[in-house]
């Protein structure tokens, strides 16, 4: 609960400069935090990754759920810096995103093992690379990264909630349905 209050406070404080832009002429890409926050919601691949990881880790102990969000955030931040520096081509990030979704689908389909969630969170680095490659030219790196991490954490939390609902109402098939959706999103990424 304390972390939720902290994240809410950071979000509110980081949007205050946006509220001061009362006149026209401001471009959306220059908003840093807002641009970084909106970006994960504009692609099914990013939404599927974060929410699917939340569903995957729902049945684990709370410490693993927290470790999952920390690993996701760390991978995203490292990936953002790698993508922003153009250390690898954007196509590497795109194929990495597809791989991360397919690994996540397999992890959701199978019974829990420790390796699969760790691999899935680690592969989130490619999502960060895509964010860095696409958004870094706008400047405002700190705002972009904070927005991206906040949005992905929110999607992860939504995934935890979906995991709880699936466990309650369709415990046998719920994760397999999510696995199928994530796999389809990954396969569409190949097209």
In the chain, how long is the greatest CA-to-CA distance? 54
For the chain, the structural domain boundaries read 39-190
Among left, alpha and beta (phi > 0; psi -120 to 50; other), residue 25 is left
What is the pTM assigned to this prediction? 0.76
pLDDT tens-digit readout, 44-62? 888 898 888 888 888 777 7
Is the dihedral angle over the CA atoms 82, 85, 89, 90 positive or is it negative? positive
pLDDT tens-digit readout, 124-144? 899 889 888 887 777 778 888
Tokens of 57: 């880790």
Q: Are 125 and 166 contacting, i.e. CB atoms less than 8 angstroms apart?
A: no
DSSP 28: G
């Amino acid at each position: 609960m304390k972390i939720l209050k902290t994240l809410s406070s950071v979000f509110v404080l980081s949007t205050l400069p946006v509220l001061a832009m009362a006149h026209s002429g401001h471009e959306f890409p220059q908003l840093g935090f807002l641009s970084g926050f909106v970006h994960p919601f504009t692609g099914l691949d990013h939404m599927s990754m974060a929410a699917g990881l939340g569903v995957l880790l729902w049945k684990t102990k709370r410490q693993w759920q927290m470790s999952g969000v920390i690993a996701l955030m760390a991978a995203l931040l490292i990936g953002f810096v790698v993508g922003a520096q153009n250390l690898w081509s954007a196509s590497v990030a795109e194929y990495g995103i597809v791989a991360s979704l397919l690994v996540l689908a397999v992890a959701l389909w199978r019974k829990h093992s420790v390796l699969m969630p760790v691999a899935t969170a680690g592969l989130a680095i490619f999502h960060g690379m895509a964010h860095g490659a696409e958004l870094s030219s706008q400047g405002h790196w700190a705002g972009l990264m904070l927005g991206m991490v906040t949005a992905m954490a929110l999607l992860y939390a939504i995934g935890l909630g979906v995991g709880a609902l699936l466990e309650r109402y369709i415990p046998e098939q719920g994760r397999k349905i999510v696995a199928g959706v994530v796999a389809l999103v990954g396969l569409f990424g190949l097209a």
